[in-house]
Structure 1
Amino acid sequence: MHDILERFLFDHAAVRGESVVLRDSYAEVLARHPYPPVLARLLGELLAAGQLLEATLKFDGTMILQLHGKGQLKMAVVEITSQKTLRATARWEGEIPDVSLAELLGQGGRFVITIDPDQGEPYQGIVGFEKGESVATIIEHYMQRSAQIDTRLWLACDGKIASGLMLQRMPLEGGSGAEDEDAWPRVQKLAETTTSEELLTLPPRDLLHRLFHQEPVRMFDPATPVFKCTCSRERVGSMMEMVGREEIDSVLAERGQVEIVCDFCGKHYHFDKVDVAQLFAGQGVQAGGSALQ
C-alpha cells in the first residue's frame, strides 16, 4: 500500500470526507533526523492531518501546521502544498519519554495554522489547547472556532505508517445533500467504529467500504502525496540577507565560511567570502557552492 489520498462525497448528504495513508513520504521525513519515537508518531499525525485539511482547501499555495511549546518539545512544523508535496521537522531538548502532547509542550503550548497562497496575503490562526487534547481534537476545535465547519478527525501512526480519516459537514443550502439532515450524526457514528489498526492496514477504499457500504458514496480520483523540500541556495541567500551583513561577516571571521543546514531535508549550504560579497552586492547567489545531503 503506497501513499494515497482519497476524496469522497456522500451523494444524498451534506457531508464530504478524505482518507489518507502515508508510507514512503513519511519514511522520507523520518530519514532526515533521529526523532524519538513519540515525536516520530506526532509528526506522522500532523502530516496526515495536514494532507486531509489541504484537500478541503481550494487554493494554490502552502499550508503550515505548527506546534510551539516551552517543554521538551520546542516546535513541530509540517508544510503541505497544493501540489500534494510535504515536509516536516521538529526541535526538542533531551531524551523524551512517551508522554502526552500537553506534557511534551508544557505550559503555554499553542497550535498555529498558516495558509500562504501563491496569490494574496497569508492567513494565520492561533489556538491554545487543553490538557488531554490530541492532534485530532485540536484541529477539530480549530475548524469549529475559526472556520465554523463541523469536522471530525481520526488519526493513527505507528512510526512506519501515518494515516487518517476526516469528515466535514457542509452547509445545507438546497440541492444535493439537503434532503438528508440526519446524515451528519449517522456517518459520525459509523466512522467512530474504525480502529487504529484498520486505519494503518486497510487501503482507503477498503476502509470506506467497511464503514459506509450502506451509504451512497461518490469517490474522486486519488492523489499521491510525496516528500519534497522547497529549500534552495537562493532561499538560503535571502535568509542571510535578512540576518544582515554584520552578523554574517562575524561568522565568516570566526569560521571562514557560513554553513547552513536545512532543518527539513538536511542539505548543507556553504558560502565563502566571495559568495557573501556577491550576495550583499546585490548579485544574488551563484549556482556553484554546495548543497550536500
Structure 2
Amino acid sequence: MQSTDVTQRFLFDNADARGQLVSLELAYREVLAKHDYPEPIRALLGEMLAASVLLSTAIKFDGLLILQARSSGPLSTLMVECSSDQELRGIARYADDITGDDLTDLMPDGVLAITIDPDDGQRYQGIVPLEGGTLAGALEGYFANSEQLPTQFRLVADGRVARGFMLQSLPPDRQTDPEQRAATWEHLSILANTLSAEELISLDNQTVLRRLYHEEDIRLFDSGPVIFKCSCSAERSGNAIVSLGREDALALLDERGGEVAVDCQFCNASYRFDRDALEELFEAAEERARGLH
C-alpha cells in the first residue's frame, strides 16, 4: 500500500524550472491529535506543515528548518519544524476567544520567519511580512526578495489532508535567452495558477502534473516519505534542567513538591525528575565537564 505521506520532485526537461509536491495525512493528523485546535487553525497549521516540507526540499541543507509565524492577533503563533529527513512536528498558540476564519483575520500584523539550523555551519534566518492574505503569498514574497528565485506555492488543508505544490525557476541552463526564459516561466506560472484547491487536495501527483503540463516533458522522481516525529527526549529535558544550575534546580524541586516536570509543547510528552534523578543529572554533567579539561 502506497504511503499517504510523501513528497515528490519533478523537473522540466526543456525549461529551467523544477517543482515539488507534498501530501500529508497521517503526519498531519498526528500533529492535530496532540491539541484540540479550532477548525481555522487546523487548516492553517496543515498549510504550514506542507510548506515546511516544500521548503526543506528547495533549500539544500542537513539539519532543521523552522517555519514560524507570529502576530499580536487572535492567533499568536504558528510553528512547524521539518528536518532535512522530512520529520515533522508543529504547534499553534491562540486566544481562548478566537474569532476569524483566515490568515488576515487571525494574524493581521503577522510576520513569517524561516530559519535554517544546519547540523554544521551557521544558523540563518529570513523574515518577511505575512502579506497577501495567504501563507503561499508570503512565501512567494520571501523567494522573490531574499532568494531572487521566482517561485509559486499552492497550499491547501482541510483538517484531514494537507497538500502543497511548488514551482520554482532555476538558473539559466537549458534556456539562456532572457526573453525566452521569461516567456517560458510566464507560461508555466499561468498553468500552475489554474490548479484549484479541490484538484490539489484530491488528485494524485501524476494526475496533477498531467492536468497542468500535459504538453511539457517532465520527469517525476521517486517519492520520499514524510513522518511526524517529535525531537523531545528525557535527555534533552534533563539538559534543560541542568542549564538552570544545581542551586536553582533544587530550589525548583522543593517548590514543586519533590518532582520537576518538563512538558513538551509539541507532543504533550512529560518528563519527570525527582531528587535522585536530578543529582544524577548534575553528577553526569560535572563528569563531562571534568573530561574536557
TM-score (norm 2): 0.90
Where in structure 2 are the equivalents of 1:108-127 lying within 5 Å? 109-127=110-128
Number of the residue aligned with 1:227: 228
With over 3 angstroms needed to count, the CA separation of the structure-2 counterparts of 1:247 and 1:177, relative to structure 1, is farther
Superimposed CA distance per residue, residues 125-148 of structure 1 (whole angstroms, 9 cap, x where no aligned partner): 122233x42100111101111111
1:171 aligned onto 2:171: yes
Percent of aligned pairs sharing the same letter: 42
8 Å Cα contact 2:13/2:219 also seen in 1: yes
Number of the residue aligned with 1:287: none
Q: CA deviation at 1:267?
A: 0.8
Q: CA deviation at 1:241?
A: 2.7
Where in structure 2 are the equivalents of 1:188-199 lying within 5 Å? 188-199=189-200
Where in structure 2 are the equivalents of 1:5-16 lying within 5 Å? 5-16=7-18
8 Å Cα contact 1:54/1:82 also seen in 2: yes
SS in 1 for 2:34: coil
SS in 2 for 1:34: coil
Counterpart AA for 2:15: A
8 Å Cα contact 1:190/1:211 also seen in 2: yes
With over 3 angstroms needed to count, the CA separation of the structure-2 counterparts of 1:29 and 1:9, relative to structure 1, is same
How many angstroms apart in 1 are the aligned matches of 2:38 and 2:252?
Answer: 31
Q: Which runs of 5+ in 1 are unaligned?
A: 285-293
8 Å Cα contact 1:11/1:177 also seen in 2: no
How many angstroms apart in 2 are the aligned matches of 1:128 and 1:240?
Answer: 35
Q: CA deviation at 1:164?
A: 1.1
Superimposed CA distance per residue, residues 148-169 of structure 1 (whole angstroms, 9 cap, x where no aligned partner): 1111001111111000111001
Number of the residue aligned with 1:156: 156
SS in 1 for 2:224: coil
8 Å Cα contact 2:74/2:99 also seen in 1: no
Where in structure 2 are the equivalents of 1:19-168 lying within 5 Å? 19-107=21-109, 109-130=110-131, 132-168=132-168
Bigger CA drift: 87-96 or 240-249? 240-249
Bigger CA drift: 121-130 or 218-227? 121-130
Q: CA deviation at 1:253?
A: 1.4
1:278 aligned onto 2:246: no
With over 3 angstroms needed to count, the CA separation of the structure-2 counterparts of 1:248 and 1:105, relative to structure 1, is farther
Superimposed CA distance per residue, residues 168-226 of structure 1 (whole angstroms, 9 cap, x where no aligned partner): 01121x3x344752221111111111111111110111111111111111111111111
**Ranges of 4+ aligned residues in structure 1 off by more than 4 Å:** none
With over 3 angstroms needed to count, the CA separation of the structure-2 counterparts of 1:257 and 1:82, relative to structure 1, is same
With over 3 angstroms needed to count, the CA separation of the structure-2 counterparts of 1:244 and 1:18, relative to structure 1, is same
How many angstroms apart in 1 are the aligned matches of 2:280 and 2:24?
Answer: 42
With over 3 angstroms needed to count, the CA separation of the structure-2 counterparts of 1:170 and 1:69, relative to structure 1, is same
8 Å Cα contact 2:261/2:272 also seen in 1: yes
TM-score (norm 1): 0.90
Q: What is the number of equivalent residue pairs in this alignment?
A: 280
Counterpart AA for 2:240: M
How many angstroms apart in 2 are the aligned matches of 1:4 and 1:274?
Answer: 44
Q: Which runs of 5+ in 2 are unaligned?
A: 287-293
1:208 aligned onto 2:239: no
Q: CA deviation at 1:277?
A: 2.2
SS in 2 for 1:164: strand
How many angstroms apart in 2 are the aligned matches of 1:72 and 1:245?
Answer: 39
How many angstroms apart in 2 are the aligned matches of 1:75 and 1:191?
Answer: 30
Bigger CA drift: 66-75 or 200-209? 66-75
Greater helix share, structure number: 2
